[in-house]
């Protein structure tokens, strides 16, 4: 098992290295280069000065050299400067990350219990009316464009009912409750988006588990329905569900980008989006890389957790 863990971790680190190179190149393919952006609209710039600047910042170096320099700096925690905010990249991304973590944790805190509940209820009587209602809801959830969902929530809850703010963040020093009101709609949007997928997995996994022989045995022993469903069913159905939740971090990050952009939240997603729009290369690169690391780490953890939880995997 230790060997398995080591091997998978090593693989993940390799993948991150490869991906950092790919992303570095992709960002390099975006329009313009950092010097253009820096000197944009400055009338006194001469071509000689441009060339000097390029040499100074090493932009004229071959790609591999530039990548190697960037990688060494990045490994020591230096991701360069943002050319729109003129501050180190980490100073911009750190608070944004906090905001995104808040959004994602709250989203999971809402969607996991809801999915477990709805999925289990639906699985008890497959094709019953409860199951049909839940399945249609889940289907609608995975089929709706998340930006449109946000738009609808804004129209209903912010514009028509005026219960909640349509976006932005609370003023500095606002009370905890007030801060929370700004998070309600984003969390609701992201949770509606993720729950559909979770519910479908919980339901499928529960139906399979509840058909197993040990469940029939539990019924035959005379255990009550809730005991059977919760103690024996849900616990065994959890394994694949945990994996799916861990694997969903990638789509959660994607969703967070859209939700943050829609509600004007200053999170990672919005930071990356703004960076790409404003050609803020260093921020975009660091943000994308970070999202990749989070996604990879969560799928690695899912794999390892599976190994720890399921003795059958461990033996192989």
Partner 1 sequence: MSVASIQGAQAPRSIWNARWSRFRRHRLAVAATIFLVALGVACAGADLIAAALGVDPSTVDLFARFDPPSAKHLLGTDEIGRDVLVRLLHGGRISLMVGLLATALGGVFGVLIGVLSGYLEGRTDAFLMRFTDCVLSLPIIPLLIVLGAVDLAKLGLPSSWLNSPSVSFWRIVVVIALVDWTAIARISRAATLSVKHRDFVQAARASGAGSLYNIFAHVLPNIATPLIVACALTVGRVILFESTLSFLGFGVVPPTPTWGNMLTNAQELVTSAPLLAIYPGLLILLTVIAVNLIGDGIRVAFDPRSDS
Name the site residues for partner 1 (rule: CB under 8 A): 11, 15, 18-19, 23, 26-32, 139-140, 142-148, 151-152, 154-155, 159, 166, 250-251, 253-255, 257-258, 261-262, 269, 272-273, 276-277, 284, 287-288, 291-292, 295-296, 299
Q: Considering the complex, what minimum distance in angstroms separates the CB of residue 217 from partner 1?
A: 24
Q: Considering the complex, what minimum distance in angstroms separates the CB of residue 64 from partner 1?
A: 17
Q: Considering the complex, what minimum distance in angstroms separates the CB of residue 200 from partner 1?
A: 10
Q: Indicate the DSSP class of residue 82.
A: -
DSSP 3-state assignment of 145? coil
Nearer to partner 1 (CB atom), residue 191 or residue 296: 296
Nearer to partner 1 (CB atom), residue 51 or residue 151: 151
Q: Considering the complex, what minimum distance in angstroms separates the CB of residue 210 from partner 1?
A: 18
Torsion sign across C-alpha atoms 184, 190, 191, 193: positive
109, 149 contact by CB (below 8 A):
no
**Distance, C-alpha 67 to centroid of its chain:** 26
Nearer to partner 1 (CB atom), residue 70 or residue 234: 70
Q: Considering the complex, what minimum distance in angstroms separates the CB of residue 173 from partner 1?
A: 29
Nearer to partner 1 (CB atom), residue 110 or residue 137: 137
Nearer to partner 1 (CB atom), residue 148 or residue 230: 148
Which residue pairs from 30-39 have beta carbons closer than 8 angstroms and sit at least 24 positions apart in sequence? Answer: 30/276, 30/279, 30/281, 30/284, 31/279, 32/279, 33/59, 34/59, 34/83, 34/281, 34/282, 35/59, 37/83, 37/279, 37/280, 37/281, 38/83
Nearer to partner 1 (CB atom), residue 234 or residue 268: 268
Give backbone dihedrals phi and psi of 77, rounded to 5 degrees, phi first.
Answer: 90, 10
202, 241 contact by CB (below 8 A):
yes
Angstrom distance (rounded) from CA 140 to CA 258: 18
Q: Considering the complex, what minimum distance in angstroms separates the CB of residue 219 from partner 1?
A: 22
Q: Considering the complex, what minimum distance in angstroms separates the CB of residue 247 from partner 1?
A: 9
Nearer to partner 1 (CB atom), residue 35 or residue 296: 296
Q: Among the residues of 249-280, which ranges form H helices?
A: 249-263, 268-277
């Amino acid at each position: 098992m230790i060997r398995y863990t080591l091997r998978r971790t090593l693989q993940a680190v390799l993948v991150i290295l490869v991906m950092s190179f790919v992303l570095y190149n992709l960002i390099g393919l975006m329009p313009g280069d950092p010097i253009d952006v820096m000197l944009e609209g400055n009338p006194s710039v001469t071509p000689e000065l441009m060339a000097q600047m390029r040499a100074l910042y090493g932009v004229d170096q071959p790609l591999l050299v530039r990548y190697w320099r960037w990688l060494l700096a990045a490994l020591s925690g230096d991701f360069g400067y943002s050319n729109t905010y003129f501050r180190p990249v980490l100073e911009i991304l750190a608070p944004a990350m906090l905001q995104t973590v808040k959004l994602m944790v709250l989203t999971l805190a809402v969607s996991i219990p809801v999915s477990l509940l709805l999925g289990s209820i639906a699985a008890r009587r497959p094709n019953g009316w409860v199951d049909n209602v839940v399945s249609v809801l889940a289907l609608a959830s995975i089929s709706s464009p998340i930006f449109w969902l946000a738009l609808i929530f804004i129209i209903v809850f912010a514009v028509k009912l005026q219960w909640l703010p349509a976006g932005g963040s609370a003023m500095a020093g606002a009370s905890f409750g007030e801060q929370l009101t700004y998070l309600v709609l984003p969390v609701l949007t992201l949770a509606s988006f993720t729950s559909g997928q979770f519910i479908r997995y919980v339901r499928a996994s529960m139906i399979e588990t509840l058909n197993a022989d040990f469940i029939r045995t539990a019924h035959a022993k005379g255990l009550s329905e809730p005991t059977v469903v919760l103690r024996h069913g849900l616990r065994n159905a959890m394994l694949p569900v945990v994996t799916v939740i861990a694997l969903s971090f990638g789509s959660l990050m994607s969703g967070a980008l859209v939700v943050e952009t829609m509600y004007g939240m200053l999170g990672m997603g919005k930071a990356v989006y703004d960076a790409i729009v404003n050609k803020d290369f260093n921020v975009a690169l660091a943000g994308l890389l970070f999202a990749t690391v989070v996604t990879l780490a969560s799928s690695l953890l899912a794999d390892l957790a599976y190994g720890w939880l399921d003795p059958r995997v461990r033996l192989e």
